[in-house]
Amino acid sequence: MTQTAPQDRAGATPPPRVAVVGMHGYGAQHVRHAVELAGRGRLVFVAAADRVPAAADQLPDGVREFTDAAEMLAEVGADVVTIATPIHTHLPIAELALRAGADVLLEKPPVTSLSQFEELGRAAAETGRVVQVGFQSLGSHAIGELRRMMAAGELGEITGISGVGRWLRTLDYWRRSPWAGRRQLDGVEVVDGVVTNPLAHATATALRLAGADTLEGPAELEVELFRANSIEADDTSVVRIVTATGLPVTVALTLCAGEQETPFVEVTGTAGSARFFYTDDVVELRRAGDDVAQRVVFDRTSLLDNLIEHRATGATLLSPLTSSGGFTRVLDAVRRGRPRQIPSSFSELREDEHGRHVVIGGIEDWVERAAFEHRTFSALDAPFAR
């Protein structure tokens, strides 16, 4: 594989030199995207670091490979660094990158606590660099359109926002990395779990739609955490928020569904509702009284492309660190919370085409009820939560 030389138009900002930290797991996606954008002349892919060597043909010719992010940053002058490493390594690597003079695309969740959030914000301010957080759903053009519709009153008065996530994760998912399913690892907080990691976009997207994504966004916050798998972290949880404007935002999530479903965030109003399938950029609009929903598919701007545009033209960042403040409040509540074990009589271990996975009986309905009735599982008197 070779890298296309970027064309630097006269007078245009030269494409940034981009380095990637974390090449496997989700990092493989970052590598592919860097290769793609390099091919379009949007960036120069200069280096990648991971403790595990790159796969054969993973890196184009000319991309230097390192096993250590600090060594990489000291040797190559990167303008932008993308980070897709385990959650508890985010802050130190992001700070290194900022202090080396780079802007950062940092995977979600950005950090493991509110105090780390403040520390990262300080590092960005001191260095004059920016952090874009990898909530890629915030790059969906559906968000702007939904916010416009809400402001224009096209859904009537907004009465609530509900997030529903029903995913299935196999036992192998929890065994893929030493930090998976952990709240702490060797005394360091990891804060993995359904709310903070795999279905984190549901909360981040709901808060963005509610206009409550900064630190001050949530006025009231409650989390209820359960686990059915043999892990430390939560796999089935409810997040209840009331925003500063009094809007209820409730997200109910599980990784113990019988089937994998497309997660969504729904805006409910007195004149209709809009269901946003945020992984697919699809919105289903339903006017009050209509049986048939109108389906609209939107485009999406990649967060790395947006960060490059921000550097070149000052374009607004789609997922700046400040917009993860509300989410980080939720994460911090999860960090301080204590997941309750669901008795095994309420779940079963299934073996099917997905692999071996735990399924909580009837969880699909409980998740939907919690999200739309804005109540926790225990307030609904779900049997597994008694």
Sites of contact with ligand NAD (CB under 6 A): 21-27, 49-52, 69, 84-87, 89, 107-108, 134, 136, 176-177, 197
Specify the residue, 194 or 257, whose C-beta has the smaller distance to ligand NAD.
Answer: 194
Q: CB of residue 65 vs ligand NAD: minimum separation in angstroms?
A: 11
Smallest separation, CB 19 to ligand NAD (Å): 11
In this structure, the strands spanning 103-106 and 80-83 are parallel
DSSP assignment string, 290-313: -SSPEEEE--B--HHHHHHHHHHH
Q: Where are the beta strands (DSSP E) in 320-362?
A: 340-341, 347-352, 355-360
Q: Which residue lies nearer to ligand NAD by CB, 70 or 244?
A: 70
> Taking the alpha carbons of 323, 324, 330, 336 in that order, is the dihedral positive or negative?
negative
User: Nearest distance from residue 288's CB to ligand NAD, in Å?
Assistant: 34
Between 33 and 227, CB nearer to ligand NAD: 33
Nearer CB in complex with ligand NAD: 331/342: 331
Q: The tokens of 200 are what?
A: 């984190």
In angstroms, what is the minimal distance from the CB of 198 to ligand NAD? 7
Q: How far apart are CA 140 and CA 34, in angstroms?
A: 19
Report the nearest approach of ligand NAD to the CB of residue 62 (Å).
Answer: 20
19/238 with CB nearer ligand NAD: 19
Residue 108 vs 183, nearer CB to ligand NAD: 108
Tell the burial category of 255 from Cβ atoms under 10 Å away from its Cβ (0-12, 13-18, 19+).
Answer: buried
Residue nearest to ligand NAD as judged by C-beta position: 25
Q: If we measure between CA atoms, which residue out of 378, 340, 370 comes closest to residue 228? A: 340
- How distant, in Å, are the alpha carbons of 266, 267, 279 from that of 282? 12, 14, 8
Cα gap 80→90, rounded to integer Å: 15
Q: Which is nearer to ligand NAD, 262 or 294 (CB)?
A: 262
- Could you identify the residue written with the tokens 């994460």? 331
**Shortest Å distance, C-beta 159 to ligand NAD:** 29
Q: Tell the smallest beta-carbon distance from residue 28 to ligand NAD (Å).
A: 8
Distances, alpha carbon 259 to alpha carbons 33, 53, 209, 284, 350, in Å: 29, 34, 27, 21, 11
- Residue ranges with strand state E in 244-281: 248-254, 264-269, 272-277
